[in-house]
Chain A
Amino acid sequence: MIEFRLDQRSGVPTYLQLVQQVRQALRLGILQPGDQLPTVKEVVGKLAINPNTVLKAYRELDREGLTEGRRGQGTFVSHDQPAAVPGDYSALRSALLKWIERARKAGLDDESINALVAATLQTVFFEKAA
């Protein structure tokens, strides 16, 4: 059985934290096909969170095909899991690595790199919107 934790300072919405923890448990094999997830009441009794938050997380997991809710019984890990997510982005990754090296040579630290990426994404978004 999986036990959920909550990091209130992470800025990640609570329901998404639950979803991510189930995904991670599936990757690590902590959860196996057929396993039951804790009931809504068990989760709220442990974490003191709103039941709708848990329902939302479970709906999202159902939607992704990772779990299936069975009426009156609970939520179970699906037997046919969708293919593992991490695709092959190696070409993008190596191009990005080269770009990061150039940015470092230009004197940017990690924070500046992040700021530059965020600002550029915003510009791209703005150009699209315009």
Chain B
Amino acid sequence: MSEFALEARGLGKRYGKKWALRDCTLEIPTGCVAALVGPNGAGKTTLLHLAVGLTDATAGSVRVLGRSAWERPEVVLPRLGFVAQEHPLYRRFRIGEMLKAGEKLNATWDQALAQTRLERLGIPLDQKIGTLSGGQQAQVALTLALAKRPELLVLDEPIAALDPLARRDFLKSLMEAVADGGLTVLLSSHIITDLERVCDYMILLSASQVQLAAPIEDIVAEHRVLSGPRSDPSAVERLHSVIQASHTDRQTTLVVRANGHLYDSRWQVDEVDLEEIVLAYLGRSPSDAPESQEVAS
């Protein structure tokens, strides 16, 4: 098994004149649950589609499970599970028929796993897909993807359309699958509080570029919020990256990615939670490059 379930190098995709994704370099360690976060239009779906080989890159490369899904679909796809946005299913099929289709279409198929899962969820096999609730459809789509016994499971906005209870149920059963071992998950979403529970790795995309890609633990440990009397943050900037700066006429507040230990008697230093960190990055104007030292006032 390779160390990384996904590796992108200088990956880019252009539609016409517009880059949907640009200069994307990142690695997702095998065995983790990675969140892909970013505002609408940031390039999340493009990155996922490039990864699973639904589209080819304009620049750079992306390998999943050691290979390119675009170049070697016959090698990669059997080991990959993908659930697109809105979990597309054949609405007029009964669930049992959907499972049969899955069995016929896939080289590896764990029918027992699929049946046990659905039984435990109380979803009868003879029901038509179209009559299921949104939460149940999501569970069926997840079951179909898991029955392939994939090594990498890619989910595009799996919980966006679900109510809080269905969302929680979905994540519970996803985490049970992860607990069984041998599975790496990459899921895109913008519901950060849920992600913080289930994910241990985060990729933050904004303005078609990767702003952050690291274990969530490290991200939270490295970021701090500094507050103090109004002042010029340039002294802080010499040592650390200032992600966001805001000023009132008397006070300055900085969200900072600390380069090593951060201590400064002039500032009150506090921890920041993941959601605030994400918002700080997303709040930067698109013209700011990831390493930009520019500060909005």
Q: Are A and B subunits of one complex?
A: yes
User: In the assembly, what is the distance between CA of A125 and CA of B271, in Å?
Assistant: 17
Point out the residue from A41, A48, A49, A50 that lies within 8 Å of B180, measured CB to CB.
A41
Residue in B closest to A119 when the chains form the complex, CB atoms: B268
CB distance from A25 to the nearest CB of B (A): 22
Contact of B196 among A8, A44, A123 (CB under 8 A): A8
Shortest C-beta distance, B54 to chain A (Å), equals: 27
Are B33 and A45 in contact (CB-based, < 8 A)?
no
A22 to B250, CA, bound (A): 46
16 contacts between A and B (CB under 8 A): A6-B197, A8-B196, A41-B176, A44-B175, A44-B176, A45-B172, A45-B175, A46-B172, A48-B172, A48-B175, A49-B198, A50-B175, A50-B198, A50-B200, A122-B265, A123-B265
**A126 cross-chain contacts in B, Cβ below 8 A:** 263, 265
A129 within 8 A of B: yes
User: Which chain A residues lie closer than 8 Å to B179 at the CB level?
Assistant: 40-41, 44-45, 51
* B263 in contact with A48 (CB, 8 Å): no
A14 at the interface (CB under 8 A from B): yes
A-binding residues in B (CB < 8 A): 32-33, 168, 171-173, 175-176, 178-180, 193-194, 196-200, 263, 265, 271, 273
Residues of B within 8 A of A123 (CB): 265
CB proximity of B120 to chain A, nearest CB, Å: 10
Q: Which residues of A contact B173 (CB under 8 A)?
A: 45
Interface size of A as a range: 20 to 34
Instruction: Tell whether A108 is near chain B: CB-to-CB under 8 Å.
Output: no
Interface string of A1-22 (1 = CB under 8 A from B): 0000010100100100000000
- A8-B193, A11-B271, A126-B265 as given contacts; A52 in contact with B200, CB under 8 Å: yes
B62 to A: closest C-beta gap in Å = 24
Complex: A40 Cα to B181 Cα, angstroms: 11
- A123–B263 Cα distance when bound, in Å, is 10
> Is A97 positioned at the interface, with any CB of B under 8 Å from its CB?
no
Q: Are A48 and B265 in contact (CB under 8 A)?
A: no
Instruction: Tell me which residues across on chain A come within 8 A of B33, comparing CB atoms.
Output: 50
Residues on A facing B (Cβ under 8 Å): 6, 8, 11, 14, 40-41, 44-53, 122-123, 125-126, 129
Given the complex, which residues of A lie within 8 Å of B199, measured CB to CB? 50
B184 to chain A, nearest CB (A): 12
Tell me the minimal C-beta distance from B268 to chain A in angstroms.
Answer: 9
Bound CA span A25–B10, Å: 51
**CB-based closest 4 A-B pairs:** A44-B175, A48-B171, A41-B179, A51-B179
Q: In the complex, A53→B194 CA distance in Å?
A: 14
Set of chain A residues within 8 Å of B194, measured between Cβ atoms: 48
Say how far A62's CB is from chain B's closest CB, in angstroms: 18
Q: Which single residue of chain B is at the shortest CB-CB distance from A41?
A: B179
User: How far is it, in angstroms, between the C-alpha of A40 and the C-alpha of B178 when the chains are bound?
Assistant: 10
The CA-CA distance from A50 to B197 in the complex, in Å, is: 6
Query: Which among B32, B197, B263, B273 has the greatest number of chain A C-beta atoms within 10 A?
Result: B197
Cβ A49 vs Cβ B263 within 8 A: no
Known A-B contacts A14-B197, A125-B263, A129-B263; A49 and B175 likewise in contact (beta carbons under 8 Å): yes
Docked complex Cα distance between A126 and B199 (Å)? 35
Q: Return chain B residues, CB-CB under 8 Å to A41.
A: 176, 179-180
Q: How far is the CB of B164 from chain A (nearest CB, A)?
A: 11
Residues in chain B near residue A53, CB distance under 8 A: 200
Contacts of B271 in A (CB 8 A): 11
Residue of B32, B172, B179 with most chain A CB atoms under a 10 A cut-off: B179
Q: How far is the CB of A72 from chain B (nearest CB, A)?
A: 13
**Please, which residues of chain A bring their CB within 8 A of the CB of B200?**
50, 52-53
Residues of B with C-beta under 8 A to A125: 263
A52 → chain B closest CB, angstroms: 6
Chain B nearest Cβ from A85, distance in angstroms: 25
Q: Bound state CA distance, A44 and B173, in angstroms?
A: 8
